[in-house]
Amino acid sequence: MANAPVQRMSHLLAKTLRDDPADAEVLSHKLLVRAGYVRRTAAGIWSWLPLGRKVLSNVERVVREEMDAIGAQEVLLPALLPREPYEATGRWDEYGGELFRLKDRKGGDYLLGPTHEEIFTLLVKDQASSYKDLPVILYQIQSKYRDEARPRAGILRGREFLMKDSYSFDLSDEGLAESYALHRQAYQRIFERLGLDYRICAATAGAMGGSKSEEFLAPAEAGEDTFADCPHCDFAANTEAITYELKPVDGSGVPAAEEIPTPDTPTIETLAASLGVPASATLKNLLVKVDGEIVAVGVPGDREVDMGKVEAHFAPALVEMVTEADFAGRPDLVRGYVGPQGLDKVTYIADPRVAPGTAWITGANKEHTHARNVVAGRDFEADAYVDVVVVQEGDPCPKCGTGLKLDRAIEIGHIFQLGRKYTDALKLDVLGQNGKPVRVTMGSYGIGVSRAVAALAEQHADDKGLVWSKEVAPADVHVVAAGKALQTELALELSQRLADAGVRVLVDDRAGVSPGVKFTDAELIGVPEILVVGRRAAEGVVELKNRRTGEREEITTDEALSRLTA
């Protein structure tokens, strides 16, 4: 491959900004815009300027190399896709408002691909006919489209974004497990090479379907995901994916339930204060409407209900909060004093923490009255046990019981064992060794390529700006001509010698820009090495500065050349 030409800042399309853009809330958004890497084109739709394109290309290169190394084959499928295959799997409708739909000039229905399970399944159906043709792993790096309701956080959550998506096709569950393991390893190598700090977390499969799924989460304040990390064992999971086992306890010694007068205690706080008990001793019963029918959800009084988990449980039914009007004509529902005992006409789902045998203080279904010693499984039965509470810092690790730590993170990768959801819908069989058709099993795997750049910016920055690792940086060295025409001339000469030796060089050769502004820009842009061609350049002395550590050293030009080309 040809050496990259020297990039001259006098010509570079990359206007740096001193101030954060007004609409920027997260660090990566602020820095990538300020340093001239990206610009907003429309809501959630971004343009990658020359420096940004280089970082993106570097991430692409690492992803390609590691995908190739596990024997994955690169392809390129269209982004504009026909409706039919998505109709066949039900995703044309399931995707709801997130799917960009359009018509062609003949009125045919098309969509912009959010992910490509259907099209890859059909491709393999066309190309593979025998067990000899499998297993196969295919991948592509391509723009994807999702019409996010609230695109935010710059390139962290865009409506058009660059993704590596891959798909494995296997004859057996064991084969799928192997393809999954290969991806897991490739992802580890990719994120390590990129220099991302990440955790592999158990995840819900979400809208993709399938059995096993893990997320690669990069801890960052700006992240939209919360994950729990065990400080003791290796457990880590997206909090959405944590569910506690139901562990019944022995409640046989609990005295009989009895009513207690509790005037003016319609909330858990007023109740606990009035009785002098902790909120955790009480049972909170939240009423919701599921497709119009009232359902009660029981959780310990000190816990919040995670409405996302409730919605996931009842999906695709519509879950709404109850309103004042819903209590009209329902004398069985006493607002503020609901208890599960005797709630005959209402479906009751309970959190596993409300296990059979546990005893609670809860509403007595009468105004100003509660009941105590109400035992699950004795005084009431849950129609179903579903983990619906928001995980909290300090909750016990489901694996070892240690108190969990919670952190925000960015989802940078996601791997799924889909199984046969798509191959069933699209009837992908191959002829097995015994001459009979075998239904193929499938995995799907994604890396947010553009999002990885944002995650890198979140994790690798300081108060001066971005701090790229060598693998992804837009250049290896940022040469700063700090002085007059002589310094510029020497800087350009040195830059050319470095480029000839295969070093990727960005040189600040701008005329009429002060050294101070150039230094500030160099730190904002974040190339790993900064080479200052200043006052002593004519004597053959330059300054080499490490962007990360801030260490600086005056050395000879020859020494600088030999270090940078090493």
Q: How far is the CB of 116 from a second copy (least distance, A)?
A: 10
Q: Which residues pair with 507 in a beta bridge?
A: 8, 479
Amino acid identity of residue 430, one-letter, is: V
Residue with smaller CB distance to a second copy, 160 or 215: 160
Q: How far is the CB of 324 from a second copy (least distance, A)?
A: 31
Residue with smaller CB distance to a second copy, 100 or 360: 100
Residue with smaller CB distance to a second copy, 46 or 468: 46
Phi first, then psi: give them for residue 63, nearest 5 degrees. -60, -45
| Whole-number CA gyration radius for the chain | 30
Peptide linkage before 316 cis (omega within 30 of 0)? yes
What is d(CA 95, CA 336) in angstroms, rounded to the nearest whole number?
37
Nearest to 397 by CA among 225, 228, 215, 227: 228
Tokens of 290: 């599921």
What is d(CA 32, CA 17) in angstroms, rounded to the nearest whole number?
10
Tokens of 162: 């660059």
Q: Write out the H or E segment, with its range, that includes residue 59.
A: helix 50-69
Q: Are strands 441-448 and 160-170 parallel, antiparallel or unpaired?
A: antiparallel
CA 364-368-372 angle, 5° bins: 40
Q: How far is the CB of 556 from a second copy (least distance, A)?
A: 31
Tokens of 506: 């960005």
Q: How far is the CB of 310 from a second copy (least distance, A)?
A: 24
E strands, 185-273, are 199-202, 212-219, 225-229, 236-238, 258-261
Torsion angle, alpha carbons of 285, 286, 292, 293, to 10: -10
Q: How far is the CB of 147 from a second copy (least distance, A)?
A: 5
Residue with smaller CB distance to a second copy, 228 or 440: 440
What is d(CA 272, CA 353) in angstroms, rounded to the nearest whole number?
19
Residue with smaller CB distance to a second copy, 14 or 359: 14
* Region class of 239: left (phi > 0), else alpha (psi between -120 and 50), else beta: alpha
Residue with smaller CB distance to a second copy, 177 or 513: 513
Residue with smaller CB distance to a second copy, 132 or 484: 132
What is d(CA 14, CA 48) in angstroms, rounded to the nearest whole number?
10
What is d(CA 443, CA 431) in angstroms, rounded to the nearest whole number?
20
Q: How far is the CB of 111 from a second copy (least distance, A)?
A: 10
Nearest to 457 by CA among 468, 449, 447, 442: 468
Q: How far is the CB of 135 from a second copy (least distance, A)?
A: 8
Q: How far is the CB of 182 from a second copy (least distance, A)?
A: 13
Alpha-carbon separation of residue 239 from 36, 96, 120, 204, 309 (angstroms): 35, 25, 31, 9, 10
Residue with smaller CB distance to a second copy, 131 or 244: 131
Nearby residues of 516 by Cβ (< 8 Å), 6 or more positions away: none
Residue with smaller CB distance to a second copy, 51 or 334: 51
Tokens of 244: 């506690």
Q: How far is the CB of 67 from a second copy (least distance, A)?
A: 10
Residue with smaller CB distance to a second copy, 106 or 245: 106
Residue with smaller CB distance to a second copy, 40 or 309: 40
